[in-house]
């Protein structure tokens, strides 16, 4: 078996599993964040469910550790009260990013399983563990039952050959991989990475690469354990862990050999993490701000790399550089090593540990038109504010902040580039409706909205500025208001309408609202070539009908925008009522149909 198959088999009382099998997976650590945590609790209470094992259950408040948003503060307090009553441990606003805390405190270990409302929970692949981001219904089920259903993914092997070039960081490696695979070529796969050089990767290196597996559409990026990794984990946790690796005769659906010696320093251009380019193509791009942190680059090694560039230098006038360590332990270590002093002397704003701008709940946001260079994992339009975000490594971000423009540490000018006037100026109470229908229809008819786009992410579907909304009735009005060309969708859509789109629909965040907004509008079905892995689960668990299709098949129905179609979920047959032509879609599989008929997972 592959790594993912071995871990799932070991946690589902199976001797072996294969791709496509659907099993209940026991979860070793079950987490909820301040984002989504209140909905998890509400789901439990609404359905009369209790906690299966409080010792395996945790809250992590990392999205808005400052509590600067009133609704976040209310939700955090709501979760604290529930935790007190049920003996659940809370890693509160002073602790840091939940996934990092889980690794560093030994709550997750090689071969273990972990779920969270964090869409980057698959960061656990860095230590060869199974981690998944899931929506609030999934997490509620995990808390109540100790297990969640999961479809075993097919596995892909990537062999990184050649030597790692000098100066190429882990962030550069993952951006090079994103430039090769894009946002959907690895969609739905468990990816294993091998190579002589990968054996030398530090835990921080592995975390950076594994963290951005979500941006590739992968279920997870797994690194087999190495002696150096196991030793590093022992130094951090004080615990000895066994080696975890695939069987020698494991079967992979695809294998890629990639020459790492050709990798170069990269940046991702604003809008998409996979829109990557050599730094030479954007060198000298003037910036307004920089950000170093997030679950991707908030380790002590990342802070040391930034400090090495900033030591004895100043952030350029008019440029703001914000640094946020991943955990409070890392923050304290940075203080003990003098890194915080270096940052302050350079004119950096240092904040308490947490997710920061990536989660829209702390420092790191930018304003309209602002150009930011960031170590975050996402730069979707509107994700980190109203401006434009480039993604890069910590040393490039630090060098750019000193220069005033995008550059590398070896080409920082003696004098920074300054801004010049242009004459231009550019501004806890959770409710969740019960399902209204006792019987869910398995055949629907409706008008088709054709949205011919790949990689429509959750920020385009339901923007993060609305994440504090927990009442489904309020969600529909914001559907697609961050998707260019479809900003008026919610005003013009009618109950029963059907959305027809392309690859990787729902990429990005684990937010349940990106599904619930369609339920709010009464959309009867979504058709796509493929879905983001977390989004697919969220839709199925919420009884939101989704189906997949092959482009060459659906072309036979000759559908145009506004046509009315009939769809049978059980048979998978779609009929264009205008042309009377029928085609075969991928029908509901048994688990999906059972959850749908039940009105949802819970």
* Domain spans in the chain, listed from the N-terminal domain onward: 3-262, 266-411, 443-597
CA 190/CA 131 separation, integer angstroms: 11
**Residues sharing a CB contact under 8 Å with residue 169, sequence separation 6 or more, in sequence order:** 208, 265, 305, 393, 394, 395
Instruction: Tell me what the mean pLDDT of segment 353-368 comes to.
Output: 76
Same fold, 3-262 and 443-597: no
Q: pLDDT per residue over 110-145, tens digit each?
A: 999 999 999 999 999 999 999 999 999 999 999 999
For the segment 554-561, the average pLDDT, to the nearest whole number, is: 95
pLDDT of residue 121: 95
CATH number given to 266-411: 3.30.499.10
pLDDT digit string (tens) for 489-505?
A: 999 999 999 999 999 99
Consecutive H or E run containing 387: none
Burial of 49 (0-12, 13-18, 19+ CB in 10 A): middle
- Of the CATH numbers 3.40.50.1820, 3.30.499.10, 3.20.20.150, 3.40.50.300, which one belongs to the domain with range 3-262? 3.30.499.10
Instruction: Report the greatest alpha carbon distance in the chain.
Output: 73
> Can you point out the beta strands (E) in 240-307?
254-259, 266-268, 276-278, 289-292
Quick one: pLDDT band at residue 425, thresholds 50, 70, 90? Answer: low
Lowest mean pLDDT among 67-71, 132-136, 252-256: 67-71
- pLDDT at residue 389 tops 70: yes
443-597 CATH fold:
Aconitase; domain 4 (3.20.19)
CA atoms within 13 A on the CB side of 508: 31
Strand partners for 528: 548
| Mean pLDDT for all residues in the chain | 93
Give the tens place of pLDDT for each residue, 87-114: 999 999 999 999 999 999 999 999 999 9
pLDDT band for 377, please (50, 70, 90 cuts).
confident
Q: What is the mean pLDDT of residues 575-585?
A: 97
Predicted local distance difference test score (pLDDT) of residue 432:
47
Confidence band (pLDDT; 50, 70, 90) for 68? low
- Rounded to whole angstroms, what are the CA distances from 460 to 101, 294, 383, 485, 510? 30, 21, 9, 11, 13
Q: Are 262 and 173 in contact (CB under 8 A)?
A: no
Phi/psi class of residue 57: alpha, beta or left (left: φ > 0; alpha: ψ in -120 to 50)? beta
């Amino acid at each position: 078996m592959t790594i993912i198959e071995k871990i799932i088999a070991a946690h589902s009382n199976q001797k072996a599993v294969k791709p496509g099998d659907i099993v209940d997976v026991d979860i070793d650590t079950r987490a909820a964040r301040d984002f989504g945590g209140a909905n998890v609790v509400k789901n439990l209470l609404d359905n009369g469910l209790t906690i299966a094992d409080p010792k395996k259950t945790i809250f992590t408040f990392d999205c808005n550790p400052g509590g600067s948003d009133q609704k976040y503060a209310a939700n955090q307090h709501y979760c604290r009260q529930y935790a007190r009553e049920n003996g659940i441990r809370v890693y509160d606003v002073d602790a840091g990013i939940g996934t990092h805390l889980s690794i560093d405190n030994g709550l997750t270990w090689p071969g273990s399983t972990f779920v969270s409302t964090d869409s980057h929970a698959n960061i656990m692949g860095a230590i060869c563990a199974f981690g998944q981001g899931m929506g609030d219904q999934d997490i509620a089920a995990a808390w109540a039952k100790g297990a969640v259903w999961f479809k075993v993914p097919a596995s892909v092997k990537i062999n990184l050959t050649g030597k790692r070039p000098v100066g190429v960081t882990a962030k550069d490696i993952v951006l090079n991989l994103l430039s090769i695979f894009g946002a959907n070529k690895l969609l739905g796969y468990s990816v294993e990475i091998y190579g002589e050089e990968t054996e030398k990767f530090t835990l921080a290196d592995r975390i950076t690469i594994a963290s951005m597996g979500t941006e590739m559409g992968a279920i997870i990026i797994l690194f087999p354990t190495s002696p150096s990794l196991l030793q590093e984990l022992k130094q951090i946790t004080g615990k000895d862990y066994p080696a975890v690796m695939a069987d020698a005769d494991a079967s992979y659906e695809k294998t890629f050999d990639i020459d790492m010696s050709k990798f170069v320093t990269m940046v991702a251009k604003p809008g998409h993490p996979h829109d990557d380019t050599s730094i030479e193509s954007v060198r000298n791009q003037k910036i307004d701000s920089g950000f170093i942190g997030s679950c991707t680059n908030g380790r002590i090694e990342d802070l040391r790399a930034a400090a090495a560039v900033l030591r004895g230098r100043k952030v350029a006038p008019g440029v703001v550089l914000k640094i946020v360590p991943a955990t409070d332990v890392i923050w304290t270590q940075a203080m003990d090593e003098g890194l915080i002093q270096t940052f302050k002397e350079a004119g950096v704003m240092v904040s308490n540990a947490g997710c920061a701008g990536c989660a829209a709940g702390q420092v790191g946001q930018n304003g309209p038109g602002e150009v930011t260079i960031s170590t975050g994992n996402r730069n979707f339009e509107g994700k980190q504010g109203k401006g434009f975000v480039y993604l890069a490594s910590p040393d490039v971000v630090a060098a750019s902040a000193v220069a005033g423009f995008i550059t590398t540490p070896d080409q920082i000018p003696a004098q920074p580039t300054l801004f010049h006037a242009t004459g231009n100026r550019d501004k806890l109470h959770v409710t969740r409706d019960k399902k209204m229908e006792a019987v869910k229809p398995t055949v629907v008819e409706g008008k088709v909205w054709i949205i011919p786009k790949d990689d429509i992410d959750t920020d385009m579907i339901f923007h993060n500025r609305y994440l504090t909304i927990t009442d489904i009735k309020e969600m529909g009005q914001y559907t697609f208001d961050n998707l260019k060309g479809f900003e008026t969708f919610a005003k013009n859509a009618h109950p029963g309408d059907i959305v027809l789109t392309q690859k990787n629909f729902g990429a990005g965040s684990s937010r349940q609202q990106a599904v619930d907004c369609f339920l709010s509008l009464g959309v009867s079905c979504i058709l796509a070539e493929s879905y983001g892995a977390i989004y697919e689960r969220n839709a199925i668990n919420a009884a939101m009908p989704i189906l997949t299709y092959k482009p060459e098949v659906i072309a036979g129905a000759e559908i145009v925008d506004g046509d009315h179609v009939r769809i049978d979920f059980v048979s998978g047959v779609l009929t264009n009522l205008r042309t009377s032509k029928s085609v075969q879609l991928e029908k509901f599989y048994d688990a999906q149909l059972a959850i749908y008929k039940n009105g949802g997972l819970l």
